[in-house]
Amino acid sequence: MKVVKLNRRYRQFRDNGHTIALRFDGWDEIALQYERVARNKLGGHGYNRADSWFSYFGDGRKGSRPYWITFCNEQDATLVLLCAQLTK
């Protein structure tokens, strides 16, 4: 997992104003854990791009498809990171 600061190269930043993301090499149990924490703490299901967080599969041009969870606010990403670390 990587924490990525989004800029104008990323569609979520351009279209919906999301500023930070968690990038996983693929969808697995770890990504599922972070997504569950986001769902429980921030509400929503990650389907609506205009919500405070959104999850999706990226482009798989270079092998496996990355899995992204993007956030509008850096504070939301920090909350999810801390809560997911506590539940391990």
Q: If you ran DSSP here, which 8-state letter would residue 71 be given?
A: E
User: What CA–CA distance (Å, rounded) separates 8 from 15?
Assistant: 9
User: What CA–CA distance (Å, rounded) separates 17 from 81?
Assistant: 20
Task: Quote the mean pLDDT of the chain.
Answer: 91
Phi-psi region of 33 (alpha: psi -120 to 50; beta: other; left: phi over 0): alpha
What is the tens place of the pLDDT at every residue in 33-42?
999 999 999 9
Number of domains present in the structure of the chain: 1
CB distance 56 to 66 below 8 Å: no
pTM attached to this predicted model: 0.90
Give the model's confidence band at 88: pLDDT under 50 very low, under 70 low, under 90 confident, else very high.
Answer: low
Residue 55, pLDDT score:
95
What is the tens place of the pLDDT at every residue in 26-63?
999 999 999 999 999 999 888 888 789 999 999 877 77
Domain containing 65: what range? 2-86
CB distance 35 to 69 below 8 Å: yes
